[in-house]
Structure 1
Amino acid sequence: MPDPETRNAAGPAKDTGGTHEAEGRSPRDPFAGDPCQTEGRSFVQSLGDIKPISDYLRRVGATARNFRRAERLVGVEGYEKPVGRIDIAHDGTVTVSGDIEEPSEFEQRAILEAFKAVQFPRITTLTAIPEPPPGVRLSDPSVFPCYNSEGEFVMLHQRYETPTGKGFIPWTRWSDGQWRKMEPETLPFFGLPETRNKATLFIHEGATGADRMRRMIEGDLPWSEFPWRAEVEHAAHIGWLGGVYAVSKSDWRALAGQGWSRVIIVSDNDEKGLNAAKRIAREFGSNTWILAFDNRFDEGFDLGDPFPEVLFDEEGVYIGPSLKECLIPATWATRKLPAGGRGAPTFVLSDAFAPMVAYTVEPPRIILRNNPSRDFRLDAFNMMIRPVSDVKDTAAKVHARVECQHDRLLYRPGEKSGTLNVDGSRGFNVYEGGVSPSPGDPGPWLDYLEHVFPEESDRKLAMRWLATLIAKPSIRMKYGMLLISTTQGVGKSTLGHALRLVLGARNVSFPSEGSLVDSDFNSWLARKRLIFVNEFYSGKSRRAYDKLKPLVTEDHVEINEKGVPQYELENWAHFILCSNSDAALHLDGEDRRYLVPTVSEGKRDKVWWDRLYRWLNAEGPGVIARWADEYVRKHGWVAAGEHAPDTHRKRAIVESSRSEGQQFAIQLGEHLTSLDRQVILRTRDVRAWIAQQRGFRDTSDSRLEKPDTILRAIKTVPGVTVWANAMRPKFGATRDSVVMNFSPRPGVKWAEIKDRLTDIQGVSADEPF
């Protein structure tokens, strides 16, 4: 936009005949005199100079807008709403529309007669702004010069406050050199010269929001209090003038004709503003959106206002929604087919809307391509899109478009979102990545990791796992982490908060232990990279361990969501389970699924935590992503097939996870390896001995562990070999597993070693050891 302070010198007026007129009217200058007018006619300054017109307008309560139009206005919640319109032809013929009374026959004759003696000046566009209107300063932030797309001045838009809202004065320059409070027939947009060479257009209700964006982009205002800088600073920003009841006065067709890649309409935060935005959206093609603020923003809020304090924490860090989260689709979804006879009209999906959506057959979902992780069930999609559709079932219209069709929904971290042909089918990848890496000092992150994982060897294992999770989305590690500290408040949950910020909220879920273990529904697992459980405690029961086992390692899972048939999805979930109990999760001695590092039992003060959270809620996530990239480059990453490394803490957890019977089995195994001869025991004898040690009458006691449970424990003892399953030797008509304190050579037959078979007495296990 030309600088108003440097354009005060009068410039030549271009005899262009004024601005373009509204659609459906003649493009001829509406303010030009009739060709038959004579030089003897006198110029008038306003319609008030023509007494018959002035009397008529006063009688019907109308306000002149210019020499050719008047309106009857009513105040509605701070807006001036036109309810009736008067159009005056060049010869004085009056035409009315809306809620307004026509002139009487006497009044019309008087107006026609008066028009024979007058002529009117014309609106002019200027290459520079002359001296401003009386009492108006161009430096006033409430004064907005408006230009056409060629950079020519058209109108000064002056904003002022009233007790009930806001008002506007349209100042235009006329061919007689005078400023008048008259608006052109077609209102200009504020900010048009800045729209050149931009792909994205923001359309603001009024000039203030567009002007604030312009001033921040040009460096006249700081970005410090505006959290959406990245989304707006490279876009064009214009303001439509006149408010929600003046939408039809702007030339939307010409604006839409400039070929925008994306259009975002920013109305005031109220119902009328949203309805006006919806009307404007119909003028544009594909990729049109409405920026809809939620109830944390004040009523009437626009981007010219400061963001509400509630959206910032105590340290001034923004904690509100992103701009993307506030967007709702506004491209008109359907179009009417040409009439082909009688009956109800037929609608199909519009060509503008089709590129914005995709659908999947399994599960039945509709996806917004600009926000692929936001997929909708059909009924939810229909309700959401109904305001911009002619039909109730828009989903059916989407299904009819072949370019929208996909066989199945995919979740493939590391791949671009969108269409992927996988395993002979056409899928749609809904994965969206997290924060982008950014430079900065990772010191706060490293301090946090040193606090949470105080043992250096364990910390390196945890850092390698975390760096792989963040920097290598195409790798799914086959083990998770179990974080246990008996002291509460050491900061385990902070890890979940940080990873949510880095990986993206839609890729992380925080289910309860009950949701994981007790519920048949597992929507918390679908389309997630991280499952973080803050409070996990299952005691020594194997139920939780066994239920989680396939979820940690399997590549595909069945997703069971309420109201939807089960469907298969690739499993990209990693698990972090946190607990304050050593009995958090039963772990087998041969467990390969959980890294169990030592976690701090100490605490940090509030100042330390406040400083860390300020960093995490500001530049921290991008810096952590950069740290992860550098870490895997320097130190490597966890390969997809690796098993969880052993730790001292894990061995202690495994020990505490063992039942009493398992502990007896291990004691027996250790006793066997201490013997100086090779021996073999039948599993039935081992169980009988354990039952005796525990004071049970016999092995039928329900409290006694199953054979497999006992064998899993005893074979963890170094030097013990177990023959089970298909290797079980035959004893008469039955087969039984056996335990031995040596390793038979490969291919040995039972007949060759059965002479080592003995009983409990034969290994002196009936004596204390």
Structure 2
Amino acid sequence: MPKGIEHKRLRQETLDRARQLLQHMYPDGVIFGDEFCIGSIDGKKGQSLKVNLKTGVWADFNVPRHKGGDLISLRAARDNVSYAEAARRIIAEISGDSDPPPQGSLSARRADIEATVPVPAGAPSAHLPLGLPHPRHDKPGYVLTAKWAYRDGSGQLINYVARFENADQTSPKGKIAKEVLPHSFFAIAGWRWKGLGGRKKPLYGLDRLTQRPDAPVLLVEGEKTADAATDLFPDIIAVTWPGGVGQVSKADFTPLRGRSVTYCPDADAAGLRSVEEVARILMEAGVAEFKVVSLPSDLPRGWDMADDPPPGLDLRELLRNAAATAAIQRALLRDLGFEELLERLVYNVETDQFVDLRSGYRLRSAQLNNMFRHTGSKGMALRLLEDIRLRKVQRFAYIPGNEDRIVRVDDDLLVLNLWRPSNAVPQAGDAAPYERHLRYLCPTDEEFEHLANMLAFMAQHPGSKLKSAIVLIGPPGTGKSFVGHVMRRILGAHNTSNVESTDIKSDYNGYMEAKQLVIVEEVMALGRLEIMNRLKPLITQPTVRVNEKYLVAYEIENRANFIFLSNHEDALKLEDGDRRYFIVISDRAPEAPDYYDRLWAWEAQHLGVILDWLLSRDLTGFKPDARPPATEGRRRMIDAGRSDAEVLVADLVADCAAPFQHDLVELAEVRRVISDILSDGRGTTITRPALTRAMRAIGAVDLGQKKGTVSGVEVRKSLWAVRNIDRYRSMSPQALIEQYIRSLRDLDGKSKPGDAEILL
């Protein structure tokens, strides 16, 4: 015992304060009657270590050597210090005195209870060479294999976390046995194998978070995994907390407030179990968005991003598909009391949905009742609706630029505004790499200028619609997706959607709700007129009817602009008169891989520079409603999208070849001739709808069924005009029939199409 401390008195005082002291030592412990239970001497969750609150006797039944007769010996074992040192620490915590203690009284050991943060500039360097033996004698064979410096937002050193491994042992996950220890600086004792003390544990990566306030965040388990993820995804900030999933509640996640966070747990039971707790803690910390990576079920046990991915596993695709799962959102609401629900929920009358303002999760009345049935309430929805404090709105709205959640609109209705701002902030700098890549994708200066103007318009006028969509076509690997990626980050991922052609074709269009930009990857609508027809109103109309499975359909503002990406020239089936698409087709070969590595790495650090470049672009003379330039790419796409029948009809008309020697043709005769050519003697015929599409594609006009009399005989013909359209439209049915019959008689090749064929 230290000098001046009475042995029996201190033991008794620890017994008198047993509950307080034990709960301070082990925040995750539980009390059953006269026993305090915790999972291990290190504070893991569980009940194998038991402390008798009346006698102070303790023992860990999983580790026979961990036992003792009082709380002082328990503290000594936990901190791996002498009995005397443990006594000093307990006295310091009991007294709370901050003055320097005498040898016999440790009431002011404050300087050695909490580490000095940040580490003073004049402090000695930590001695952490690789191969250093484990500081505890009961860990033979463990040597230092890695260390990580934790730094604050300004880059100053907080402490280290060191990893010790024993190559001769394996963990339950089948990996090398390891132990991770904190190494902190204390004003009196210097560097010690000890945590920071009573304060919350900092995140690993705080300095990177501060440097890039608008970047998305990837949360992983462990420093090694965070470093690996940083190398894999330079556009994302990877962070972690110290101590693994068992210590997540002790970490300070407030620096993530307002950030978009994706969590990728390890592929093991503990990682999967941690999702709900991590979600709850981060939502309480105020993150703007929380998503979880759904890991394939066949991953090796314990896999993380520091391990090699199995063949065929696309890690970036995993992150892209991360989602705010309904299970997490339900769990976050399930634990709330009635008053908290009133504070968090808004009721939308139109869709009969309760909306959680924090997570965005929505529940119908019946779902809310079922969620809270365990509380004994069979009608939580009705209880809320009957309370005058519950906020109610008539419909959803999407009003970019207005940060208010509940807004009174022109028709004097209260609406719930689904728009949330982006975290992107403009920053002065040189955007040459971005401009250079746009020029690389565009064959001409005119196409570059128009593409840059369209992107700048989206940035300068959030929520305003262009009346045309961007279509970027080129070989695989040229970096087309980079354009959409940058705009997603600038506008905010929550304000954008990434979809495929199948999503456009579907009857359910939730991807259109509350979006400023929709990016359609690998669009392929050739031959699918229903897709083209669905796109027309989505690109141009000011409102859209949102239809999601099992939910009430409703109308909301349509603020979405579109970017289509494809490797194929025939991706869209365009008509000559369609003005909804700005087509850029590049034949450039992909650059070397290091070009794209540099480009993505630069963009990860300079998003604000790109935003500033877009915001500074002069849009004088740019008309968002005007027809886009008729590019060479547009002509190529129209040609590539033509069917065999359309190509054949166009060629025959251009050559004045049969059956198009004259201006007027009969559809049945055209069908016979085209079928003979296309069937190549096989006897197949072109369908009437396919033929009419081909005729309209070359500008021919259906004049309809006409009736007239020739030489006393009534004649009926379905006539089309392929030239001199306006003249034939003004002629009477009798005149058209006479003109058509005359053209049949004039097949000796002497007449030139259009000459002396009109009977006035």
If the length of structure 2 is used for normalisation, what is the TM-score? 0.56
Match of 2:447 in 1: 458
Match of 2:697 in 1: 713
Is residue 739 from structure 1 mapped to residue 710 from structure 2 by the alignment? no
Report if the CA contact (8 A) 1:512-1:535 is conserved.
yes
Give the distance between the partners of 1:456 and 1:595, measured in 2 at CA. 14
Q: Give 1:466 deviation, angstroms.
A: 1.7
What is the identity, as a one-letter code, of the residue corresponding to 1:629? L
Q: Give 1:489 deviation, angstroms.
A: 1.3
The one of 474, 495, 502 equivalent to 2:490 is 502
Give the distance between the partners of 1:749 and 1:63, measured in 2 at CA. 100
Give the distance between the partners of 2:725 and 2:288, measured in 1 at CA. 71
Give the distance between the partners of 2:306 and 2:642, measured in 1 at CA. 51
Report if the CA contact (8 A) 2:97-2:107 is conserved.
no
Give the distance between the partners of 2:653 and 2:213, measured in 1 at CA. 66
Match of 1:520 in 2: 507
Q: Give 1:55 deviation, angstroms.
A: 8.3
Match of 1:685 in 2: 666
Give the distance between the partners of 2:428 and 2:369, measured in 1 at CA. 43
Q: Give 1:479 deviation, angstroms.
A: 1.8
Is residue 599 from structure 1 mapped to residue 570 from structure 2 by the alignment? no
What is the identity, as a one-letter code, of the residue corresponding to 1:739? A
Q: Give 1:140 deviation, angstroms.
A: 6.6
Give the distance between the partners of 1:292 and 1:689, measured in 2 at CA. 60
Is residue 448 from structure 1 mapped to residue 419 from structure 2 by the alignment? no
What is the identity, as a one-letter code, of the residue corresponding to 1:377? L
Compared with structure 1, are the counterparts of its residues 132 and 49 closer, same or farther at alpha carbon in structure 2 (3 Å cutoff)? closer
The one of 575, 578, 588 equivalent to 2:562 is 575
Compared with structure 1, are the counterparts of its residues 46 and 127 closer, same or farther at alpha carbon in structure 2 (3 Å cutoff)? closer
Q: Give 1:222 deviation, angstroms.
A: 7.5
Match of 1:361 in 2: 349
- SS, match of residue 510 in structure 1: strand
Compared with structure 1, are the counterparts of its residues 497 and 474 closer, same or farther at alpha carbon in structure 2 (3 Å cutoff)? closer
Match of 2:419 in 1: 431
Report if the CA contact (8 A) 1:382-1:394 is conserved.
yes
Is residue 472 from structure 1 mapped to residue 443 from structure 2 by the alignment? no
Is residue 608 from structure 1 mapped to residue 608 from structure 2 by the alignment? no
Match of 1:192 in 2: none
Q: 1:421-478: per-residue Cα shift (whole Å, max 9, x none)? A: 3445322111223333333322221122122223211111211122222332221122
Compared with structure 1, are the counterparts of its residues 56 and 497 closer, same or farther at alpha carbon in structure 2 (3 Å cutoff)? closer
Q: Give 1:274 deviation, angstroms.
A: 11
Match of 1:419 in 2: 406
Report if the CA contact (8 A) 1:665-1:686 is conserved.
no
Compared with structure 1, are the counterparts of its residues 400 and 383 closer, same or farther at alpha carbon in structure 2 (3 Å cutoff)? closer
Give the distance between the partners of 1:390 and 1:271, measured in 2 at CA. 30
Count, aligned residues:
551
Match of 1:482 in 2: 471
Question: What value does the CA root-mean-square deviation take over the aligned residues?
Answer: 6.2
**Which protein has the larger Cα radius of gyration, Structure 1 or Structure 2?**
1
Query: Among the aligned pairs, what percent are the same residue?
Result: 19
- SS, match of residue 596 in structure 1: strand
The one of 43, 62, 69 equivalent to 1:79 is 43
Give the distance between the partners of 1:292 and 1:505, measured in 2 at CA. 10
Compared with structure 1, are the counterparts of its residues 691 and 483 closer, same or farther at alpha carbon in structure 2 (3 Å cutoff)? farther
Compared with structure 1, are the counterparts of its residues 387 and 135 closer, same or farther at alpha carbon in structure 2 (3 Å cutoff)? farther
Matches within 5 A, 1:621-632: 621-631=607-617
Q: Give 1:596 deviation, angstroms.
A: 0.7
Between 1 and 2, higher relative CO (CA 8 Å, sep ≥ 6) is seen in 1
Report if the CA contact (8 A) 1:411-1:570 is conserved.
yes
Give the distance between the partners of 1:122 and 1:222, measured in 2 at CA. 30
Q: 1:619-675: per-residue Cα shift (whole Å, max 9, x none)? A: 3333322222112x4556542x333331111112212322344345545665789xx
Q: Give 1:587 deviation, angstroms.
A: 0.8
If the length of structure 1 is used for normalisation, what is the TM-score? 0.56
Q: 1:344-369: per-residue Cα shift (whole Å, max 9, x none)? A: xxxxx31x542333222333433333
> Would you tell me which structure has more helix in proportion to its own residues?
2
Compared with structure 1, are the counterparts of its residues 628 and 737 closer, same or farther at alpha carbon in structure 2 (3 Å cutoff)? farther
Give the distance between the partners of 1:273 and 1:575, measured in 2 at CA. 38
Q: 1:305-337: per-residue Cα shift (whole Å, max 9, x none)? A: xxx9859x9xxx9x999xx989989799766xx
Match of 2:393 in 1: 406
Report if the CA contact (8 A) 1:444-1:612 is conserved.
yes
Match of 2:207 in 1: 223
Give the distance between the partners of 2:483 and 2:547, measured in 1 at CA. 28
Give the distance between the partners of 1:730 and 1:129, measured in 2 at CA. 114
- SS, match of residue 739 in structure 2: coil
Report if the CA contact (8 A) 1:411-1:431 is conserved.
yes
Match of 2:646 in 1: 662
Report if the CA contact (8 A) 1:509-1:532 is conserved.
yes
Give the distance between the partners of 1:226 and 1:384, measured in 2 at CA. 42
Report if the CA contact (8 A) 1:420-1:427 is conserved.
yes
Is residue 645 from structure 1 mapped to residue 629 from structure 2 by the alignment? yes
Matches within 5 A, 1:319-334: none
Q: Give 1:45 deviation, angstroms.
A: 6.1
Q: 1:60-109: per-residue Cα shift (whole Å, max 9, x none)? A: 9979969xxx996554333398966569xxxxxxxxxxxx9xxxxxxxxx
- SS, match of residue 575 in structure 1: strand
Q: Give 1:47 deviation, angstroms.
A: 6.6
What is the identity, as a one-letter code, of the residue corresponding to 2:492? G
Report if the CA contact (8 A) 1:359-1:367 is conserved.
yes
Q: Give 1:585 deviation, angstroms.
A: 1.8
Report if the CA contact (8 A) 2:4-2:104 is conserved.
no
Which moves more between the two structures, 736-745 or 469-478?
Answer: 736-745
Give the distance between the partners of 1:645 and 1:544, measured in 2 at CA. 23
Give the distance between the partners of 2:276 and 2:573, measured in 1 at CA. 58
- SS, match of residue 597 in structure 1: strand
Q: Give 1:612 deviation, angstroms.
A: 1.2
Match of 1:186 in 2: none
Compared with structure 1, are the counterparts of its residues 288 and 664 closer, same or farther at alpha carbon in structure 2 (3 Å cutoff)? closer
Q: Give 1:564 deviation, angstroms.
A: 1.9
- SS, match of residue 740 in structure 2: coil
Q: Give 1:532 deviation, angstroms.
A: 2.1
Q: Give 1:589 deviation, angstroms.
A: 0.9
Give the distance between the partners of 2:400 and 2:601, measured in 1 at CA. 29
Give the distance between the partners of 2:525 and 2:391, measured in 1 at CA. 45
Compared with structure 1, are the counterparts of its residues 124 and 475 closer, same or farther at alpha carbon in structure 2 (3 Å cutoff)? same
Q: 1:529-578: per-residue Cα shift (whole Å, max 9, x none)? A: 33323223343453432333333233333333222233333333333222
What are the ranges of 5 or more consecutive residues in structure 1 without an aligned counterpart?
1-43, 88-99, 101-119, 147-159, 165-204, 232-243, 248-260, 263-268, 297-307, 336-348, 717-721
What is the identity, as a one-letter code, of the residue corresponding to 1:758? Q
Give the distance between the partners of 1:122 and 1:140, measured in 2 at CA. 12
Compared with structure 1, are the counterparts of its residues 766 and 222 closer, same or farther at alpha carbon in structure 2 (3 Å cutoff)? farther
What is the identity, as a one-letter code, of the residue corresponding to 2:413? S
Q: 1:391-434: per-residue Cα shift (whole Å, max 9, x none)? A: 68755544444542112222333433512334453221112233
Give the distance between the partners of 1:536 and 1:278, measured in 2 at CA. 35
Give the distance between the partners of 1:507 and 1:576, measured in 2 at CA. 14
What is the identity, as a one-letter code, of the residue corresponding to 1:713? A
Give the distance between the partners of 2:366 and 2:96, measured in 1 at CA. 50
Q: 1:493-541: per-residue Cα shift (whole Å, max 9, x none)? A: 2323223222222233222322322x33333333333332322334345
Compared with structure 1, are the counterparts of its residues 386 and 609 closer, same or farther at alpha carbon in structure 2 (3 Å cutoff)? farther
Match of 2:187 in 1: none
Q: Give 1:590 deviation, angstroms.
A: 0.7
Is residue 557 from structure 1 mapped to residue 544 from structure 2 by the alignment? yes
Give the distance between the partners of 2:736 and 2:623, measured in 1 at CA. 47
Compared with structure 1, are the counterparts of its residues 430 and 126 closer, same or farther at alpha carbon in structure 2 (3 Å cutoff)? same
Match of 2:128 in 1: none
Compared with structure 1, are the counterparts of its residues 761 and 694 closer, same or farther at alpha carbon in structure 2 (3 Å cutoff)? farther
Give the distance between the partners of 1:134 and 1:443, measured in 2 at CA. 66
